[in-house]
Amino acid sequence: MNIFGKKPGARILLLAAMVVLAGWWSLRADTSLKWKLSKDSESLVTDAKLRDEIFDALDAAEKAGTDPRITHFNVRVATAFEKDGKERVVTGGNVEYEVPEGIHGETSVLNHVTALYGADTTRNHVRFLAFFAQQCGGGASCGDCRDYQMATTDYEHLLVACGQASDRTVKVSRFADQIVCERNFPEVDSAKIPLPAEELRRLVRSAEEARRGGVTLFTRERHIGAAALSFAGKTYRAAGADDAAFHYRYPIGGLLQQAMTERDYFLRAIVIRGENGEWPIVNYRDRQYGYEASSFNHAAGKPPIVLILSNGRGQFRMTTFESALPSAFSTADFMPEALKTFLATHATDR
Ligand SMILES: [Zn+2]
């Protein structure tokens, strides 16, 4: 006996019903599998070929392999483009390992494009990165991935698509919206900077002194020095340091690590100094470090860290990491209670 019953007639009828049901179900599945652009995305994707490439990339991204063993947060991403008369679809996925370190989805997919088709293809053919997500929340790339996308793609025209699994809508935005050039940091008179004049002078000198140090065996024009003042009244400074493995130690990251080593978690201001007369460049990875630290201030009810750029000629630009890294994420977003507990049990000065 089986679940279809004893009688052959009834069995056939039931089987026939199941075939019809299966057909209907697959038809239904086919319909539900179709991606569609959200209304506000249509103006960014005007040609049908690009739209189809985005949808094909999302289908591939859905199946991309990942290994996020710490966060269990999958970043599945793909791109598609025509190369030698054929559509090419390339995927990427995030991997985490216990330090904690990780390879992110964006860098993964772009590296795969370069490995398969060369760096010129990454720069000239990649028009978008498409993320497959259960829910598209509007978060952008981390600072490091922004640096990498700027370095390897035609980023001013790059699009970012997010395909939502639940309803198959696709939201598209411009990668350029994640970028804020240092030249767009507002220029301010030194009197408008919320630090005593002598304190500001001291920080500028300290950052300049830091810039004379560091390691610049591979660094070209991006060498900067950074100095910071904490709410506890302590100062920290650091310069960039390169190495043969190209595991660059960033200046803001460096001084933050010193402050955090002293359990001094709340910084008031960070001053960056470039070459005399030049506005310094602040890498997006370093902005990510600053953004994370500023979210500590926010969790403790303090104002955000003030980020000050000095060109060494008495001119200043002033902003916050929140403005310099739009749509960023930090621990405060994922585990706010854990962060509050951590700060409450570790900080030496609140
Ligand atoms: Zn990233």
pLDDT one-digit tens code per residue, 146-203: 999 999 999 999 999 999 999 999 999 999 999 999 999 999 999 999 999 999 999 9
pLDDT surpassing 50 at residue 285: yes
Q: Which residues fall within 8 angstroms of residue 275, CB to CB, at 6 or more apart?
A: 221, 223, 312
Mean pLDDT across 245-267:
98
- From ligand 1's centre to the CA of 149, what distance in Å? 10
- From ligand 1's centre to the CA of 143, what distance in Å? 6
- From ligand 1's centre to the CA of 162, what distance in Å? 15
- From ligand 1's centre to the CA of 248, what distance in Å? 16
- From ligand 1's centre to the CA of 62, what distance in Å? 19
Instruction: Say if residue 104 is in the same domain as residue 248.
Output: no
Residue 12 lies in a domain: no
Beta bridge partners of 298: none
Instruction: Say if residue 340 is in the same domain as residue 203.
Output: yes
pTM of the predicted structure, to 2 decimals: 0.90
| CATH classification of the domain holding 110 | 3.40.140.10
pLDDT in tens, 1-27: 333 334 444 444 444 444 444 444 444
Residue 120 lies in a domain: yes
Last residue in a domain, options 149, 175, 201: 175
Question: What domain count does the chain have?
Answer: 2
- From ligand 1's centre to the CA of 145, what distance in Å? 4
CA 224, distance to chain mean position in Å, is 22
Residue 18 lies in a domain: no
Q: How far apart are CA 164 and CA 202, in angstroms?
A: 50
Instruction: Say if residue 228 is in the same domain as residue 193.
Output: yes
Mean pLDDT across 274-290:
93
Residue 57 lies in a domain: yes
Q: How far apart are CA 304 and CA 294, in angstroms?
A: 5
Last residue in a domain, options 175, 201, 227: 175
- Tokens (6 digits) for 24: 């209907």
Residue 80 lies in a domain: yes
Instruction: Say if residue 45 is in the same domain as residue 73.
Output: yes
Instruction: Say if residue 215 is in the same domain as residue 330.
Output: yes
**Structural domain for 47, as ranges:** 36-175
Residue percentage of the chain with pLDDT more than 90: 86
Last residue in a domain, options 152, 175, 198: 175
Residue 2 lies in a domain: no
Residue 83 lies in a domain: yes
H and E: helices and strands count for the chain: 11, 14
Q: Is 90 helix (H, G, I), strand (E, B) or coil?
A: strand
Ligand 1 is an ion; residues with CB less than 5 A from it: 104, 142, 145
Residue 30 lies in a domain: no
Instruction: Say if residue 263 is in the same domain as residue 294.
Output: yes
Instruction: Say if residue 77 is in the same domain as residue 124.
Output: yes
Instruction: Say if residue 158 is in the same domain as residue 196.
Output: no
- From ligand 1's centre to the CA of 102, what distance in Å? 9
Instruction: Say if residue 142 is in the same domain as residue 169.
Output: yes
